[in-house]
Structure 1
Amino acid sequence: MNHRFLSIVGLAAAMAFTGGCSANKAVIDTTTGNGATAEAVALPADTVPADSVPVWAPKKHAFNPSRTRTQDLLHTKLRVSFNWEKQYLNGIAELTLKPYFYPQDTLVLDAKGMDIHSVSLLKGQNSTPLKYDYDGKKLAINLGKTYTRTEEYTVEIDYTAKPNELEAGGSDAITSDKGLYFINPLGAEPNKPRQIWTQGETEANSAWFPTIDAPNERTTQEIYITVDQKYMTLSNGEFIYSRQNVDGTRTDYWKQDLPHAPYLAMMAIGEYAVVKDKWRDKEVNYYVEPEFKGTAKKIFGNTPEMMEFFSKKLGVVYPWSKYSQIVVRDYVSGAMENTSASIFMEALQLNERELLDKDWDGIIAHELFHQWFGDYVTTESWANLPLNEAFANYSEYLWAEHKVGADEAAYLQMDELSQYLDEAETKREPIIRYHYKDREDMFDSHSYAKGGRVLHMLRKLVGDEAWWASLNRYLTQNKYSDVEVAELRIAFEDVTGMDLMWFFDQWFMQAGHPELKVEDSYQNGQLRLQVTQIQDTAYAPVYRLPLQVAVWAGGKKTVHPIVIDKAQQTFTFNVPTEPQLVLFDAEQQLLGVVNHDKSEAELLFQYKNANQLGPKLEALVSLEEKLQKPEVLQMYQAALKDDYWRVRSAAISSLTNLKAEQAGAVEATIRQMALQDKEGAVRSEAVLALAGWNGEKYKPVFEQAMKDSSYLAAAAGILAYAGTGAADTKQRLAAFEKEKNEDIVLALASYYALQGGPEKYNWFINHIKGASGSELYYLLQSFGAYLASNSQTNTPEAIALLGDFAKNNSAYYVRAAAYQALMVMSDKAEVQQLLEEIRQKEKDERLLQLYGS
């Protein structure tokens, strides 16, 4: 599951419109070394006043074990058809089971919000009715006799699933839990296709078929799906055949012979173009809306190469019979790794021009890697979710490292660290945690971002050969089964011969992260490095940290390995001359916060010599306030020519701190970059920098930018040109009003919010009705500002539209934006009443706090 629901474009738009950005909270230095001596100094234990509990302190919740297995679900056979008008699924489920160990006379199934019509025991062609009790969530079936663990039996359940009648639930990561979704079921929305799709994680598949909905269960599967002739279907496993029915419908038969967890079962139905690809002898297909048939291979086309790369590295060939990827509308998360058939949000569908600015290889690699880590080997409980998600997250790094290069991989690692540290401001829990309030809480930056970074440290600790050999052992020994974190540790210990309990304990089982103060000094041929662990040890351990320190002296680099395992330690190194730079954590692998002060000269040397993304960006950020110094400005000028586009972009971002009269040394270069840089994002950054210095002077550049092939650069051109106040701005911007691209739409919205006038009302309404996710969120923000400046547009239609979003949208952040837009019109009695209704219906604690409820 990938839950990054805010798109890159949307986040860029947010930064452009609000002027905000999120800097990495820790730049971690990295290198390698030898010849260190360590001196430990004992420190008194930290004490925390009883009434001083940090906001991020781990919370006390009940213990959540894995599901006790009384029955073993062996096989699931489903026959399903649909009532689009009522949004019902009509189903017949045949489940084959046997007692797990102890004799059983009762079968308890998860079955949420269904009408149960009958339950029978099947023996050959014979069917015997069974007694049952049903409370709307659990179906308890009296089997009529006691079965032992050697006896299989099959029950048949005739039922109707009514997902829309369930009480709404969900989380940040998966915004709804009703399992089965009808999209535009009545065809009332002219620009939206009719679709049906499912989303099973965590335990929502039991809203559309009776099952044992737990991750430690395994079942083989058959599904017969009856639909109208015009629809395509997709499910797990192999497509076996289609059968034409006398009523004009068609039944598709899908079969999966290898067992998987029930939450990984899926269906998707709609009008799709199926673009066929292949890896070795297996089908690899991409299901997209017909409009995107021509770009499907450019979007998903690296999939076969990824399958080959991961299969070879893991030594475990992709295990399933096929691999399909399908894009659906109004998805409740980013993507989902259903066995052999991953589902993705609609943002993945890109046209040729959009592909110039972005790709989705990260999320595609993430879901593919889950086919091994999550599907082939599955977490036994949601407490162990990082055994699925940390590996999938780390696959994004592995793929970037292989396909794009070290800088892009390093950027992903820095971004992961930033995500985790942002969350750690208010939440610090063990990665593997049995004490949680709700299983959905496991889908956070601990399980994903921190988990991926911890796996990277484990890889660095044991070395690449042992890393891949250990993963092979873990997968082969646990295939088609459920695992807990100890089994991962044991696989690594069996391969390496190392006792890794200390590593798994401090990183997986304990909360928090190391916070280090590093100081270095040089005297009489010796470099003295003092490292102090300053994290609050009432809530986090004193860490054991094997890492490397790189030292440059006389232009020569030496790498020294050290092990930090005390609250305070001093390391000494023989160094012939005063060091030009000491780079702590030379491999840039540590998850934590490092405070290591460096002089201007050291940072300049670091930029030129460290040859790593983290140290380069640290130098650029740290020296922003000294831009007026010639040697510092020279460093930024060099950064403008860096091979990696993110360094060029970061340099431009820092240089915008110069006043217009100070920008002469770089202005011409940035002007050239605005027109000619090979990366659209950099051209965009350069255009906005010029706009900040002298918009009127660079109006021709902005005119050219609006014609740029990159949507990002064109959107920047729109904002920059509008900022000049040119008399023809509205006329020029009107030429973009039919564009559907998110960057363009949001750029126009930011201008129209204050300058649009009543005539732009229909433009806003039409785009809001067609938007979703991050685009809708930002559009609603602009619309609120627009309504405040154009009171004559405060119509009943606008009020009803915003009210519907505020009450019913599955994304809490969209509900919040709609509510805030309504607040603009709170002088109206009907709006006051509507706001009260919204507050009464809302259940999300964050929004209730925002609303003052």
Structure 2
Amino acid sequence: MKLKQRSFKQFLFIVFIFNCSFLYVSAQNHDSRFQSIDILNYNFHLTLTDESNEIDGLAEITIKFKKSVTSFDLDLVEQQSNNIGMKVDAILENNLPIIFKHNSNQLLLNIPESKTNDIRIYTIKYHGIPTDGLIISKNKYGDRTFFGDNWPDRAKNWLPVVDHPSDKATVEWDITAPSHYQTIGNGTLIERTNLDRNTTLTRWKMQTPIPVKVMVIGVAQFAVENLEEIYNIPVSSWVYPQDRVHGFKDYALAVPVLDFMINHVGPYPFEKLANVQSKTLFGGMENAGNIFYNEKSVTGNGDYEAVIAHEIAHQWFGDSASELNWHHVWLSEGFATYFENLFYENRYGRDSFVRKLKEDRLKALQYYNKNQSPIIDTTVTDYAKLLSPHTYEKASWVLHMLRKKLGDKLFWEGIKTYYDTYKYSNALSEDFQHVMELISGSDLNSFFKQWLYQSGHPILDIVWNTTARLNIEIKQTQENLFLFPVDLKINFEDGSSSIETIDVNDRLQKITFPKSKNISSMEIDPNTWLFFDLNSIKKE
């Protein structure tokens, strides 16, 4: 996803208010639940109206049991005294009522004892007004809209689910809504029927497993354009009717991005790609097969091309190959950020790519002054706080430095192998490391350890002088020691230059080179391959 730059703090506050008090308990409960059940499919039947914000829901959930249990729990925000939240009316298994308890946003089902590998279907009837997750509001033109916005674990505000990326499932949406709306959902459109003069049923079906964070619907008045198919993948744009001309122009930028990703990573993982103007809290949200962009993304000037590239990259990294645990979110956001930049390199050339890299590096360095955490920070329990320049921009730089370390051929082979291995599944950072080691034949443990699990980055003082030889001292001034190669560009008085690569492996690195010509100046990292900060570079 892309956070809206000017409302990042607002977003953190919103998510904190809705979720913070339940995160610790959920994290404790999920490990045992993960060992017990596996959701195979959700079929959500939802009725939406214009008369109120209350939704009527019926969820048919297909579950495979990993072991024998007599109870399990799902995530669902319970109804409060002000009628906000969800009230469960009944739960059935094989048309027989199940005893349940709904407390602390956990829905506990007491069931006949399961056997290992049992597959059962549970029907949950419920209703209520969502506290979050399904945003029911008016758009910028004053028209009523309904948009799912689940990240990170906000789906439980309107759906009974396992609200964690480790449990992926297929999903079906059966949405009954007033006929003046159109409905977009994950997967393929399988039915649109006018039930009467005022009500329409729309059904979407997703046949590949995805995490709950990217299972959504959008219900609004839309103008829809079907673009050219890319490798038989239908591409469409869904925008507010008032933004039809500008929106179709802006969202058509998805076509070259999709083509780039298919050619560089692998086949597109889902049935379609719909780009949707919406009320998401984010700049863009990578919902599987139907990406939601903030309603201000439509300008007619192509201003959101980078966001479109970022969110489409997520279809591979985050939606198909998903992080197993929230703390490894860089496998989504760092990848999407780097592939956004790689798309720019492919489409606009190296200079555009380098400009974006430098902007990202500066942003991450500035953020580090406020927060000295590593990219993988297991101390975080408020998942929204995992979204930062550490997991976006700095993590993107980790991939960039890995590309330099391995070379383009091995880097791309490793990326393709990683994706092919974990598509429709989940991975941790060590899984990605293992794939890259297997492909390259290199021990990458120190590389990943220092860049992902260790906070900080090289902060350098460089001093050079010339006698009969060129003498260079590189001093690391940060707390944690880093091992890295760095390029130094030596500029000569006659206008020529040379680049020397130095493997830095100590606090104070001293190097000498033969002096062939008079030196006028020196530059560090001339080709933009190292994530670092520079105190000074000077001649003594």
Pairing 1:410–2:364 present: no
Q: Of 139, 152, 155, which residue of structure 2 is paired with 1:202?
A: 152
| Structure 1: distance between partners of 2:442 and 2:372 | 28
Matches within 5 A, 1:422-461: 422-461=366-405
Q: Of 120, 126, 131, which residue of structure 2 is paired with 1:153?
A: 120
Pairing 1:214–2:187 present: no
Q: Of 527, 545, 552, which residue of structure 1 is paired with 2:470?
A: 527
Letter in 1 for 2:134: L
More helix per residue: 1 or 2? 1
| Structure 2: distance between partners of 1:565 and 1:85 | 67
Aligned to 2:485: 546
Matched residue SS, 1:146:
coil
Letter in 2 for 1:285: S
Q: CA deviation at 1:596?
A: 3.2
For residues 708-748 of structure 1, the C-alpha deviation after alignment (integer angstroms, 9 at most, x for no partner) is xxxxxxxxxxxxxxxxxxxxxxxxxxxxxxxxxxxxxxxxx
Matches within 5 A, 1:287-326: 287-314=238-265, 316-326=266-276
| Structure 2: distance between partners of 1:398 and 1:269 | 33
Unmatched 5+ residue regions in structure 1?
Answer: 8-60, 165-177, 600-853
Matched residue SS, 1:98:
strand
| Structure 2: distance between partners of 1:482 and 1:364 | 24
For residues 765-823 of structure 1, the C-alpha deviation after alignment (integer angstroms, 9 at most, x for no partner) is xxxxxxxxxxxxxxxxxxxxxxxxxxxxxxxxxxxxxxxxxxxxxxxxxxxxxxxxxxx
Aligned to 1:12: none
Q: Of 14, 37, 41, which residue of structure 2 is paired with 1:71?
A: 37
Q: CA deviation at 1:64?
A: 6.3
Pairing 1:93–2:59 present: yes
More strand per residue: 1 or 2? 2
Q: Is the 8 A contact 2:49 2:178 kept in 1?
A: no
Q: CA deviation at 1:62?
A: 12
Pairing 1:137–2:105 present: yes
Q: CA deviation at 1:402?
A: 1.1
Instruction: Select the structure with the greater relative contact order (CA < 8 A; seq sep ≥ 6).
Output: 1
Cα–Cα, structure 1 residues 295 and 505, in superposed 2: closer, same or farther, change >3 Å? same
| Structure 1: distance between partners of 2:205 and 2:25 | 39
Letter in 2 for 1:584: I
Matches within 5 A, 1:708-747: none
Q: Is the 8 A contact 2:93 2:123 kept in 1?
A: yes
Matches within 5 A, 1:586-665: 586-597=526-537
| Structure 1: distance between partners of 2:270 and 2:350 | 31
Aligned to 1:555: 495
Matches within 5 A, 1:316-715: 316-329=266-279, 331-351=280-300, 355=301, 359-524=303-468, 526-535=469-478, 537=479, 541-553=480-492, 554-597=494-537
Q: CA deviation at 1:555?
A: 2.8
Cα–Cα, structure 1 residues 87 and 133, in superposed 2: closer, same or farther, change >3 Å? same
User: What is the percentage of aligned positions where both structures have the same residue?
Assistant: 24
Higher-Rg structure is 1
Cα–Cα, structure 1 residues 332 and 190, in superposed 2: closer, same or farther, change >3 Å? closer
Letter in 1 for 2:521: L
Cα–Cα, structure 1 residues 505 and 190, in superposed 2: closer, same or farther, change >3 Å? closer
Q: CA deviation at 1:257?
A: 0.6
Matched residue SS, 1:309:
helix
Aligned to 1:273: 223
Q: CA deviation at 1:350?
A: 1.1
Matched residue SS, 2:385:
helix
Aligned to 1:119: 91
Q: Is the 8 A contact 2:462 2:538 kept in 1?
A: no
Q: CA deviation at 1:292?
A: 2.2
Q: Is the 8 A contact 1:62 1:437 kept in 2?
A: no
Letter in 1 for 2:48: F
Q: Is the 8 A contact 1:62 1:435 kept in 2?
A: no
Cα–Cα, structure 1 residues 190 and 477, in superposed 2: closer, same or farther, change >3 Å? closer
Matched residue SS, 2:311:
helix
Q: CA deviation at 1:580?
A: 2.5
Q: Is the 8 A contact 1:115 1:161 kept in 2?
A: yes
Q: CA deviation at 1:250?
A: 0.6
Letter in 2 for 1:119: I
| Structure 2: distance between partners of 1:265 and 1:428 | 33
Q: Is the 8 A contact 2:237 2:274 kept in 1?
A: yes
| Structure 1: distance between partners of 2:420 and 2:462 | 42
Q: Is the 8 A contact 2:48 2:175 kept in 1?
A: no
Q: CA deviation at 1:598?
A: 5.1
Q: CA deviation at 1:369?
A: 0.4
Q: CA deviation at 1:324?
A: 0.4
Matched residue SS, 1:192:
coil
Letter in 2 for 1:211: V
Q: CA deviation at 1:214?
A: 0.7
Q: CA deviation at 1:190?
A: 9.2
Unmatched 5+ residue regions in structure 2?
Answer: 8-23, 78-84
Pairing 1:183–2:133 present: no
Q: CA deviation at 1:458?
A: 1.1
For residues 263-294 of structure 1, the C-alpha deviation after alignment (integer angstroms, 9 at most, x for no partner) is 11001011110011121212101111122222
Q: Is the 8 A contact 1:117 1:158 kept in 2?
A: yes
Aligned to 1:105: 70
Letter in 2 for 1:106: S
Q: Is the 8 A contact 2:74 2:106 kept in 1?
A: yes
For residues 159-217 of structure 1, the C-alpha deviation after alignment (integer angstroms, 9 at most, x for no partner) is 013213xxxxxxxxxxxxx1011113xxxx99422110011111111111101111100
Q: Normalized against structure 1, the TM-score is what?
A: 0.58
| Structure 1: distance between partners of 2:238 and 2:145 | 13
Matched residue SS, 1:6:
helix
| Structure 2: distance between partners of 1:88 and 1:572 | 74
For residues 396-421 of structure 1, the C-alpha deviation after alignment (integer angstroms, 9 at most, x for no partner) is 21111111222222221121122212
Q: CA deviation at 1:591?
A: 1.3
Cα–Cα, structure 1 residues 598 and 405, in superposed 2: closer, same or farther, change >3 Å? farther
Matches within 5 A, 1:27-38: none
| Structure 2: distance between partners of 1:63 and 1:94 | 23
Q: Is the 8 A contact 2:43 2:60 kept in 1?
A: yes
Cα–Cα, structure 1 residues 545 and 64, in superposed 2: closer, same or farther, change >3 Å? farther
Aligned pair count reads: 511
